[in-house]
Amino acid sequence: MKFGLFDHLERSDDRPLYTQFDERLEFAAAADEAGFYALQVAEHHSSPLNMVPVPGLWLSAVARATKQMRIGTLCYLLPLYSPLRLLEEICMLDQLSKGRLEIGIGRGVSPFEMKYHHVEHSDSREIMIDHYKCLRAGLGQSEFSYEGKHYQYKNVPLPFKPVQEGGPAFWYGSSNTTGAQWSGEHRMHFVANGGADFAKPNIDAYRAALAKVGGKVEHPKSEFPGGGVVGHLRHVVVADTDEEAVRIAKPAVEHHAGSLNWIRKRHNQTEFADRLHVHRTESFEDWARLGMVVAGSPETVVRELTKQAEFLGVNYQLLYMFFGTMTLPQALRSMHLFRNEVMPKMAHVGTSVPALAQAAE
């Protein structure tokens, strides 16, 4: 089992935003020293949920603040980018990080955000797929051409390449079986969201689709048995006692849940309900009941994360450990306890994607 960190960098209070950025960079540097596998950030727009709507710019700062931890997006909203412009950014970031970049892609979970950019919900999946094919045609090439419905290029020079041969690995995060199946068919690494019962059908759909194309991801990682990554996202707070962890986690989760719901409340409508079906209640107790937040002593956290990992059959846990109203000292203390008292006890947990894929056949 390996552990990564996830972040939206939501607005947490009225302090200068640069102070929040400084704290997150300090947290990233500490995670790098603690041995976390990766730091992966979201992309959202026009919402207090996300203060890094240009994730590549943020990752360039993270690349210089860290030395070994991998960095990436979960995800770039492909319909909002020029493929050529994004190809150049990917090459730059892989060079700045000396080959540590991971590319998470998606269509955009919020139709409201996409409409602000004049992208219709009904078109976004088709645009994303065309964009992805264009990226694949260009990555690692000195010159590329592409002919698709939405994007066309002919003999475009690319004067520099990523460090990683053939380009960084692609990842997909999904809360529905359609996206999960598509990512499996395209042999990407995969991360699911939502409570365990909600996430399991999506992981199963990914595994079944991957099995049909041979059970092997396109960019295998030797650090994972079998080469493939299948993970899930959890908010985690570790403290010396269960009571102390809940005291920190409850206001943090409820602030964060408010940020997740902010744009939907602003529109005061249920349109696009099919795109906003991830659990969105704002009660800490509901989140804990579904296992979406795990808050407790090291022993409690080991027990709950192990149970969920074994139920879902994952080999990667993407942890949200600095969110909502949490302070930097609280987040650093939680990370310290996780590194010293949770990671070692969970090193044996997890299984390889090929084995999972075969089981799904």
Residue 272 and residue 111 in contact, taking contact as beta carbons nearer than 8 Å: yes
CA–CA distance from 8 to each of 74, 85, 259, 330, 337 (Å)? 10, 23, 10, 18, 22
Tell me the pTM.
0.94
- Write down the pLDDT at residue 297: 98
Averaged confidence pLDDT in the chain: 93
pLDDT of residue 359: 43
Q: How confident is the model at residue 280 (pLDDT cuts 50, 70, 90)?
A: low
Query: Mind listing the pLDDT tens digit for each residue in 294-313?
Result: 999 999 999 999 999 999 99
pLDDT of 196 strictly over 70: yes
Question: What local confidence, expressed as pLDDT, does residue 314 receive?
Answer: 96
Mean pLDDT, residues 204-211 taken together: 97
CA distance 208 to 117: 34
Q: What share of the chain has pLDDT > 70, as a percent?
A: 94
pLDDT score recorded for residue 350: 78
Cα–Cα dist 270/356, whole Å: 37
- How large a percentage of the chain has pLDDT more than 90? 88
pLDDT at site 267: 86
pLDDT band of 281, cuts 50, 70, 90: confident
pLDDT value at residue 159: 94
Q: What is the pLDDT of residue 358?
A: 47
Tell me the pLDDT tens digit for each residue of 87-125: 999 999 999 999 999 999 999 989 999 999 999 999 999
Closest Cα partner for 221 from 38, 32, 33, 6?
A: 38
How far is the C-alpha of 100 from the C-alpha of 5, rounded, in Å? 15
pLDDT at 83: 98
**2-360, what's its fold?**
TIM Barrel (3.20.20)
| DSSP letter for each residue of 299-337 | HHHHHHHHHHHHHHT-SEEEEE-S-TT--HHHHHHHHHH
Rounded to an integer, what distance in angstroms lies between the CA atom of residue 224 and that of residue 178? 25
**pLDDT value of residue 357:** 44
Q: Once rounded to an integer, what is the mean pLDDT over residues 22-36?
A: 98
Residues 216-267: tens digit of each pLDDT: 999 999 999 889 999 999 999 999 999 999 999 999 999 999 999 898 888 8
360 confidence band (pLDDT: 50, 70, 90): very low
Quote the pLDDT of residue 279. Answer: 58
**Residue closest to 170 by CA, chosen among 157, 182, 154, 178:** 182
Residue 4 pLDDT exceeds 90: yes
Query: Which tokens hold the place of 162?
Result: 């990523």
Q: Where are the domains of the chain?
A: 2-360
